[in-house]
Amino acid sequence: MIFVSNANNLDSPLFGDEDNDTPAEKKHNAGWKVLVVDDDEDVLAVTRLVFSSFRYEDRPVNVMTATSVKAAMQILEEHTDIAVAFIDVVMESDHAGLDLVREIREGQRNDEIQLILRTGQPGYAPEMKVILEYGINDYRTKTELDNVKLLSCLVAGLRNHKNMVGARRAASREAIASELNEAKSLFFAQMSHGLRTPLNSVLGFCQLLELTDLSAEQAEQVKLIGSCGKHLLALVNDILDLSKGEAGKIQLEHIGFSLHELVRETAKLLKNQAKDGVAFECDLDASVPDWVLGDPVRVRQILHNLLSNALKFTKQGFVKLLVEPVSDQQVQFTVTDTGMGIP
C-alpha cells in the first residue's frame, strides 16, 4: 500500500531551516503581522501591550511599529504579508496617513492588507469622505478605541485578510488546474493523429490480407487481429475525448451486434494466456440470442479485463466464462476461477 501525503499547500516554501517543524508549522508559529503607524510613542506602546498577549486562531500577533510614513513604507516593502495596519492620519502632515493609504493601495497595489484609520483629530479627515475616497477597511477615533474595541477591530481585520487571501489562493489553484487541463487537452490532441494513424494502418493491412489466399486458420487469425484493432481504436477514441472522460459523460452505445461472435473472439484472444495446469472454459448458453442491442466496445472491454485478471492470478485449476440469459432483455456474464482472490 502506498501512502501519499497532502502536498496541496502551494504557499509552503520549498526550502527551510533544518529543524523538525514543517513549512506549514513554521508559518503558523510565525504569527500574524500587524503594523501600527503613529507618531505618538505612547499610542504605539499601549497598542503593542494590548496585542502582545493576544492570539487569534492560536497564532500570536507580531506587532511592527513606525512613527512616519517613510518608516512605514520601508517596513511594508520588507514585509509583504502584513495582515492589518492601524494608521494615524495626522503625522508629518495633516494628511500623511491618507497619503500612506493611497501609496499602499495604488503604489504597491496591495489590496489584501486590511487598513484601519484611527485618528485623534477627525476634523482633518471627515469619516464619510475618507471611506468613499480611500481604500480603507475601517475608520475609528482614538477616543472610542478602548482595549476591547481595539481587539475587536484587529480580529475583524485578521478575519477579512484571511478570507481574502484564502479566496485568492483558491482562485490561483483553479487557474493552475485550468492551465494544466488545457495543456493536457493539447497533448492528447497532438497525440491523436500519432495514435490513430498506426491503428488505421493495421486495420487497412488486415483488410488487404483478407483479400489474399489464406487457409481457414489464417483467415480466422486475420479476422481476430482486425477485431482487436477495431476494439483498440474505439478505446483510443474514448480516451482522446478528454472532456467526456473527465466529466464522466462517456455515452453508452445502443446498437445491434453479434454477442456470440464477440464472446468467441474475446475467448480465443485470451485462451493462450492460461498457464500450464489451468483450464479455460467458455460456456455460451444456446438460449442466448446472437444479435443483441448494447455497447459492444464496453462489453468487450469488461470481459477482457475480467478474464485477463482471472487468468493472470490463477495458477492451478480453471477459469470459466458463463454467458446466460436472465430475462428476455438481459444477459448475464459470470467469470469463475480458482485463483487466490483478494486476500
pTM of the model: 0.50
Q: What is the pLDDT of residues 126-172, one digit of tens each?
A: 666 777 778 888 888 888 888 899 999 999 999 999 999 999 888 88
Q: Are 157 and 138 in contact (CB under 8 A)?
A: yes
Distance of CA 296 to the CA centre of its chain: 33
Report whether pLDDT(4) > 50: no
Under the banding of pLDDT at 50, 70 and 90, the label for residue 202 is confident
Q: Which residue has the cell 487569534?
A: 56
Q: Nine-digit cell at 162?
A: 484571511
Q: Which residue has the cell 496585542?
A: 51
User: What does the pLDDT average to over 78-104?
Assistant: 92
What is the spatial order of strands in the sheet that 55-56 belongs to? 55-56, 59-66, 32-37, 84-87, 114-119, 138-141
Under the banding of pLDDT at 50, 70 and 90, the label for residue 342 is low
Report whether pLDDT(323) > 60: yes
- Between CA 108 and CA 106 the distance in angstroms is 6
Q: What is the mean pLDDT of the chain?
A: 83
pLDDT of residue 338: 92
